[in-house]
Structure 1
Amino acid sequence: MTRFWLVRHGPTHAKTMIGWTDLPADLSDIAALTRLRAHLPAQAPVISSDLARAVATADALQPALRLPHDPALREIHFGQWEGRSFAEVEAEDPALIRAFWDQPGQIRPPGGESWNELTARTWAALDRLHGIAPEIVVVAHFGPILAALQRATGRSALETFAHRIDTLSVTCLTISPPRVHGVNHRP
């Protein structure tokens, strides 16, 4: 059994849909990083998505063992919606963007990916990591953390979307057996 400590990367301050856009994280809150570091298991290996905001956050945790970045842990790909606000996209195609958020599953933004595609790649990454260590710190994004939470709870995507996942928060869970130990904890 592997306990996953899922950390959402530091803030980007973006007010638009940012998935695969490679923005840096603001890691200036040293006190928050210090508390986060103290909360996480000190000897656990750390892995992150390959996007700069996750890589920098993982490196700031000063891990004992750093695993290679994994693109399977990236945020959902918003395709043509990348860098645009909800209001902008809604003005163009209100039915599609509302369906994307209200009926998560097969619906995808133009040129992007669906919730089901995100969960498939996230779950595959967790399966690859499961068993390599008793505890693993995963620095990722809102979407993959929710995808892991959905797997651990067995709830629908829509029910899972009700959870808040703040930057620099920790969601702790196991996938075998499926169990949630904490959601959106801000140390």
Structure 2
Amino acid sequence: MKIVLIRHGITVTNKKKIFSFDDSLLAEEAYPMLDELKPRLKEFASFKVYSSPFKRALQTAEYLGLKNIQTDKRLQEYNFGIFKGFTFEEAQAKYPIEAKNWIENNDTIAPPDGETSFDHFKRTAEFLEETALKDEDIIIVTHYGTITMALAWALDNFSLRNKFAPKNSAISILEVFLSDNKNEIAYKGIETVNAF
């Protein structure tokens, strides 16, 4: 089976390098970029579609003309907690201790009211394991952080999550093979990253 990961179109908060709010919307510049992606998606027309429930992901899925979109909270972006709405530099200035602790060990330390990186990985992996065992080709419209976690899941290595940089309005493709009795994943890997 194939898992096609689409990062949502660019937002105003992406442009300003702000930790996005859950309801951040697409910027006007997102639409021409998404128009370029539309023809590439024709080969995935029969795929089942999932999306993060955040507005920017749903706006992207709808603009791309994807149908029967199912949302799942496990596909949400990393929860930056009290850092939402700030640039990294602003968060450091306003919450110096919390930002320092988080940067030094975000695997196990969360921003206040947020989540750890490993929690984000676990929920992403849980969704992917669950859907992979259904052996259906799927499209997932989601976020930068969730895609990096999915790519790390494909390589069975959480520590590789920071080695990827999925672009707005781009796709990454994973391939998953089940065991002969289809009750476990036999092999998974990355087919293409940031491909149009």
- The answer to whether TM tops 0.5 is yes
Letter in 2 for 1:52: K
Letter in 2 for 1:145: I
Count of aligned positions = 182
CA–CA separation in structure 2 for the residues paired with 1:153 and 1:76: 20
Query: Deviations along 1:75-129, whole A, 9 cap, x unmatched?
Result: 0111111101111121244454355345441110011011111111111111232
Aligned-residue CA RMSD (Å): 2.1
With normalisation by structure 2, the TM-score equals 0.82
Which residue does the alignment assign to 1:12?
A: 11
Q: Within the alignment, does 1:44 sit opposite 2:43 as a pair?
A: no
CA–CA separation in structure 2 for the residues paired with 1:90 and 1:27: 29
Which residue does the alignment assign to 2:155?
A: 153
Query: Deviations along 1:12-41, whole A, 9 cap, x unmatched?
Result: 1212111x5211113655543233222221
Give the percent of matched residue pairs that are identical in Structure 1 and Structure 2.
26
Which residue does the alignment assign to 1:61?
A: 64
Classify the secondary structure of the residue corresponding to 1:167. coil
90, 93, 100: which one aligns with 1:91: 93
**Aligned in 2, Cα 1:29/1:80: closer, same or farther, shift over 3 Å?**
closer
Gaps of 5+ in 1: none
Is contact 1:21–1:83 with CA below 8 Å preserved after alignment?
no
CA–CA separation in structure 1 for the residues paired with 2:169 and 2:141: 9
- Equivalences for 1:1-187 in 2 at 5 Å? 2-14=1-13, 15=16, 16-18=18-20, 20-26=21-27, 29-40=30-41, 41-63=44-66, 65-94=67-96, 96-101=98-103, 103-132=105-134, 134-157=136-159, 159-175=160-176, 176=185, 177-185=187-195, 187=196
Letter in 1 for 2:174: L
Q: CA deviation at 1:156?
A: 3.8
Larger Rg: 2
Q: CA deviation at 1:167?
A: 0.6
Letter in 1 for 2:51: S
With normalisation by structure 1, the TM-score equals 0.86
Letter in 2 for 1:45: K
CA–CA separation in structure 2 for the residues paired with 1:59 and 1:147: 24
Which residue does the alignment assign to 2:181?
A: none
Is contact 1:5–1:138 with CA below 8 Å preserved after alignment?
yes
Q: Which moved more, 1:70-79 or 1:91-100?
A: 91-100
Gaps of 5+ in 2: 177-184
